[in-house]
């Protein structure tokens, strides 16, 4: 009897277990269906997410459409021509295309006004609220390109070579064109901007030192200040200016010129992006200039502050012109280069000559005017050069743009490594010649790439900013 009861209990337990398992399986199936089924939790969540995404996208499109409509309303109240914009002095609240007297169009960016000019071919100048000036360079997307050289022979020996088969553009030192790259810029965005707007803006003046940089800025109302050689210390917010009569921002490396150029216009206040001038923008500008000034790409002597330009029109007669003297020191016995004797002070006043060889101590008064000067005239000889303030001479103006030829070599975004290397010394390209070069050897088209991107010790090296419309 007892054994029978035990068996009965065992049978009941087994049946209960089976029933329990079946129930669990059913519940599991229901749960899986509830979670993974067509109308389950996961699919429901995914559908909800998709619906939310669609709603957000639609809202963004609606907002974008509303913004575009508001911009259209703003554009309706803005000038339609260059002449009208200049007469009214309107600061544009949105980017807008306007026409010159010939019917050609340009885009005036948000935050700028049209300051001067009649036709786009002559050079239309815009300015921001702080007085920084830029010139519109018209071009199609096909015209916006680098100059191509037929001869790609590498030359690190310092031989000047002309590409006479392709326009006579002069290059110097390491001219394997395909090896040069553009640094820290968005080439695709630049090209798209040109395509959408029909051009870009280039600074009217070489980059100038901002007034807040009091350690090396010379104010017209003050006495001459000591020439500060630490301009490569750029801080966290120092920006260049593009203004007439400023002290050119030299003694700066290409690396830091890249950084401060990008700072000039950022955020949403202005309808442009700023950057250091790139090789494509420089070449496109020179090509545009050469259509009116034939031959400047081969010889720019009479259009800039060069050592061999003795034209009276280049020399300054205004009493408030800012300028500085620099010496370059040579060894007499073999004429080997020694280096710069950088002027200690900038000064205001007139000068009638910009270059002279073999100065004596008495002529140069070197002890008070120059840094790193040796008075040993038995061993050394000195060439004397004059650096001018930005936009100091109208003789150096092409298409309303000053000093692209002469005064300062200007850093660009282009860089490369020599002798096929992929690391080591990074060399950067500079363009346009300087006060210490000849306009026949270093015209506005010149490309030189034999100086390190980190070199900040050259008084003849400066830079220029370009703007691309957003």
Residue at a domain's end among 370, 388, 406: 388
Q: Examine residue 93 and state whether it is found in any structural domain, yes or no.
A: yes
pLDDT of 36 > 70? The answer is no
pLDDT of 129 > 70? The answer is yes
* SS3 at position 292: coil
pLDDT of 305 > 60? The answer is yes
Q: Examine residue 192 and state whether it is found in any structural domain, yes or no.
A: yes
pLDDT of 135 > 80? The answer is yes
The alpha carbon torsion through 308, 310, 313, 319 (nearest 10 deg) reads 100
User: For the chain, what is the domain count?
Assistant: 3
Residue at a domain's end among 388, 414, 430: 388
Structural tokens at position 102: 């010939």
Q: What is the pTM of this model?
A: 0.81
**Cβ neighbours of 352 (radius 10 Å):** 9
Q: Examine residue 22 and state whether it is found in any structural domain, yes or no.
A: no
Q: Give, for 195, the enclosing helix (H) or strand (E).
A: helix 187-197
Q: Examine residue 138 and state whether it is found in any structural domain, yes or no.
A: no
Q: Are residues 330 and 378 in the same domain?
A: yes
Q: Examine residue 322 and state whether it is found in any structural domain, yes or no.
A: yes
Tens of pLDDT, residues 413-444 = 999 887 777 889 999 999 999 999 999 889 99
What pLDDT was estimated at residue 5?
42
What pLDDT was estimated at residue 354?
66
Mean pLDDT, rounded, for 341-345: 78
Distance (Å) of CA 27 to CA 14, 30, 33, 279, 311: 20, 5, 10, 71, 99
Tens of pLDDT, residues 150-186 = 554 444 444 445 554 456 676 665 555 456 788 889 9
* SS3 at position 346: strand
pLDDT of 358 > 70? The answer is no
What pLDDT was estimated at residue 313?
44
Q: Are residues 341 and 275 in the same domain?
A: no
Mean pLDDT, rounded, for 442-464: 92
Q: Examine residue 448 and state whether it is found in any structural domain, yes or no.
A: yes
Q: Examine residue 46 and state whether it is found in any structural domain, yes or no.
A: no
Q: Give, for 199, the enclosing helix (H) or strand (E).
A: strand 199-203
Comparing 314 with 353, which gets the higher pLDDT?
353
Q: Examine residue 264 and state whether it is found in any structural domain, yes or no.
A: yes
Residue at a domain's end among 388, 409, 443: 388
- Whole-number Å distance between alpha carbons of 326 and 85: 43
pLDDT of 64 > 60? The answer is no
Q: Are residues 259 and 302 in the same domain?
A: yes
The alpha carbon torsion through 441, 447, 453, 454 (nearest 10 deg) reads 20
pLDDT of 142 > 80? The answer is yes
Q: Are residues 222 and 287 in the same domain?
A: yes
Q: Are residues 401 and 300 in the same domain?
A: yes
Q: Are residues 334 and 439 in the same domain?
A: no
Comparing 13 with 271, which gets the higher pLDDT?
271
Comparing 14 with 466, which gets the higher pLDDT?
466
Q: Are residues 266 and 290 in the same domain?
A: yes
Q: Are residues 197 and 331 in the same domain?
A: no
Q: Are residues 303 and 431 in the same domain?
A: yes
Comparing 185 with 20, which gets the higher pLDDT?
185
What pLDDT was estimated at residue 15?
78
Share of the chain above pLDDT 90, in %: 43
- CB 343, CB 216: distance < 8 Å: no
What pLDDT was estimated at residue 160?
47
Comparing 440 with 10, which gets the higher pLDDT?
440
pLDDT of 65 > 90? The answer is no
Comparing 356 with 107, which gets the higher pLDDT?
107
- For tokens 């010649």, the residue is 433
Tens of pLDDT, residues 177-216 = 456 788 889 999 999 999 999 999 999 999 998 877 766 6
Q: How far is CA 265 from the centre of its chain?
A: 11
Chain mean pLDDT for the chain: 81
Q: Where are the beta strands (DSSP E) in 117-177?
A: 125-127, 133-138, 160-163, 169-172
pLDDT of 149 > 80? The answer is no
pLDDT of 223 > 50? The answer is no
Q: Are residues 275 and 341 in the same domain?
A: no
| Buried residues in 90-114 as b, exposed as e (16+ CB within 10 A) | bbbebbbebbbeeebebbbbbbbbb
Q: Are residues 443 and 419 in the same domain?
A: yes
Residue 269 banded pLDDT, cuts 50, 70, 90:
very high
Domain hosting 460: range is 160-309+397-469
pLDDT of 310 > 90? The answer is no
Q: Are residues 234 and 263 in the same domain?
A: yes
pLDDT of 1 > 80? The answer is no
């Amino acid at each position: 009897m007892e054994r029978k009861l035990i068996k009965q209990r065992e049978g009941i337990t087994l049946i209960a277990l089976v029933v329990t398992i079946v129930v669990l399986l059913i519940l599991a199936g229901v749960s899986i269906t509830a979670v993974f089924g067509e109308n389950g939790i996961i699919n429901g969540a995914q559908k909800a997410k998709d619906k939310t995404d669609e709603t957000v996208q639609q809202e963004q499109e609606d907002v974008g459409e509303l913004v575009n409509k508001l911009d259209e309303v703003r554009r309706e109240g803005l000038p339609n021509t260059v002449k009208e914009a200049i007469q009214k002095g309107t600061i544009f609240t949105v980017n807008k295309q306007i026409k010159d007297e010939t019917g050609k169009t340009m885009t005036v960016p948000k935050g700028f006004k049209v300051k001067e000019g009649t036709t786009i071919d002559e050079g239309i100048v815009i300015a921001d609220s702080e007085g920084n000036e830029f010139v519109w360079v018209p071009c199609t997307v096909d015209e916006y390109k680098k100059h191509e050289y037929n001869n790609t022979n590498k030359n690190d020996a310092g031989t000047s070579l002309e590409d006479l088969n392709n326009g006579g553009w002069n290059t110097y030192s390491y001219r394997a064109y395909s090896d040069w790259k553009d640094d820290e810029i968005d080439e695709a965005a630049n090209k798209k901007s040109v395509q959408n707007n029909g051009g870009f803006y280039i600074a009217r003046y070489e980059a100038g030192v901002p007034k807040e940089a009091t350690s090396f800025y010379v104010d017209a109302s003050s006495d001459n200040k000591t020439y500060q050689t630490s301009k490569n210390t750029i801080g966290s917010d120092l920006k260049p200016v593009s203004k007439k009569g400023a002290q050119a921002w030299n003694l700066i490396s290409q690396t830091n010129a890249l950084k401060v150029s990008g700072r000039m216009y950022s955020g949403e206040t202005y309808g442009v992006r700023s950057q250091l001038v790139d090789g494509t923008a420089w070449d496109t500008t020179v090509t545009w200039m050469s259509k009116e000034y034939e031959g400047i790409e081969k010889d720019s002597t009479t259009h800039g502050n060069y050592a061999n330009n003795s034209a009276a029109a280049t020399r300054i007669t205004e009493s408030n012109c800012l300028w500085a003297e620099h010496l370059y020191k040579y060894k007499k016995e073999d004429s080997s280069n020694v280096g710069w004797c950088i002027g200690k002070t900038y000064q205001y006043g007139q000068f009638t000559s910009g270059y002279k060889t073999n100065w004596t101590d008495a002529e140069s008064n070197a002890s008070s005017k120059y840094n790193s000067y040796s008075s040993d005239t038995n061993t050394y000889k000195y060439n004397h050069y004059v650096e001018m303030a930005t936009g100091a001479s109208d003789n150096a103006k092409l298409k309303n743009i000053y000093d692209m030829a002469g005064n300062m070599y200007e850093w660009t975004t282009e860089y490369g490594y020599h002798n096929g290397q992929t690391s080591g010394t990074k060399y950067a390209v500079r363009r346009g010649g300087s006060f210490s070069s000849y306009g026949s050897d270093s015209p506005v088209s010149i490309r030189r790439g034999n100086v390190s991107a980190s070199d900040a010790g050259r008084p003849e090296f400066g830079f220029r900013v370009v703007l691309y419309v957003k």
